[in-house]
């Protein structure tokens, strides 16, 4: 039942319009959607580059397409939106340290075992899944770009995913 103030009665729910005054509330609301955690890698002008992202999703099975969305404010944005090939690594629950290495100020590839794939993109062995992609398209997405990759090959192992929700890492627990 809707209350006169626009709230659902009996709930501690706040209704708001996203905007500059409510940007923090908007981010908080978005953070309630639990995601997996990925590290995206590509070759840049200065060598291998990578960043942690949770904007990854599948797009199409035929053809096999995936997408992710780097922020336009990122210093790596130009490199990722123009790289002909890239890899998206889905992290396992024990790989939160790897995720942190690829955040702003992290050590990235320092001391990390990695290699080049056939197309010259840096890949990290041992992640839960890896999608090696060719750049298919880039679209505007407000303060982010939407990068679509055509999946050339996939590596996958058994394990549980690293999850992220409400600003914290966590584990997936199956319901019984």
Domain range for 65 is 35-167
- Mean pLDDT of the residues in the chain: 92
Q: pTM (2 decimals)?
A: 0.90
User: What integer pLDDT is reported at residue 174 of this predicted model?
Assistant: 86
Residue 25 falls inside a structural domain: no
142 pLDDT above the threshold of 90:
yes
User: What integer pLDDT is reported at residue 1 of this predicted model?
Assistant: 47
Residue 23 falls inside a structural domain: no
**pLDDT over 90, % of the chain:** 84
CATH code of residue 102: 2.30.110.10
148 pLDDT band, cuts 50/70/90, is very high
116 pLDDT above the threshold of 60:
yes
4 pLDDT above the threshold of 60:
no
Buried b (16+ CB within 10 A) or exposed e, 128-146: bbbbbbebbeeeeeeebbb
Average pLDDT of the segment spanning 53-62:
97
Among the listed residues 45, 134, 47, 46, the one whose alpha carbon sits nearest the alpha carbon of residue 88: 134
User: What integer pLDDT is reported at residue 105 of this predicted model?
Assistant: 75
User: What integer pLDDT is reported at residue 164 of this predicted model?
Assistant: 95
User: What integer pLDDT is reported at residue 106 of this predicted model?
Assistant: 72
Residue 172 falls inside a structural domain: no
Q: pLDDT digits over 6-52, tens only?
A: 555 557 888 999 999 999 999 999 999 999 999 999 999 989 999 99
Number of domains in the chain: 1
Own/partner pairs, 75-82, CB within 8 angstroms, 24+ separation: 76/44, 76/49, 76/51, 77/145, 79/42, 79/44, 79/45, 79/49, 80/40, 80/42, 80/49, 80/51, 80/145, 80/147, 81/138, 81/145, 81/147, 82/135
């Amino acid at each position: 039942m809707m209350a006169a103030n626009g709230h659902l009665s009996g709930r501690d729910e706040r209704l708001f319009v996203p905007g500059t005054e409510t940007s923090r509330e908007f981010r908080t609301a978005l953070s309630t959607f639990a995601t997996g955690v990925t590290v995206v890698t590509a070759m840049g002008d200065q060598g291998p580059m990578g960043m942690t992202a949770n904007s990854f999703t599948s797009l199409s099975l035929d053809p096999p397409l995936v997408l992710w969305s780097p922020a336009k404010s990122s210093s790596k944005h130009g490199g990722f939106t123009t790289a002909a090939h890239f890899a998206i690594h889905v992290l396992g629950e024990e790989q939160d340290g790897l995720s942190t290495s690829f955040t702003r100020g992290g050590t990235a590839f320092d001391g990390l075992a990695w290699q080049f794939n056939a197309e010259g993109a840096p890949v990290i062995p041992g992640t839960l899944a890896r999608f090696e992609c060719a750049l298919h398209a880039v679209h505007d997405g407000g303060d982010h770009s939407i990068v679509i990759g055509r999946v050339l090959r996939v590596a996958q192992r058994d394990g549980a995913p690293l999850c992220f929700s409400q600003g914290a890492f966590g584990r997936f627990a199956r319901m019984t």
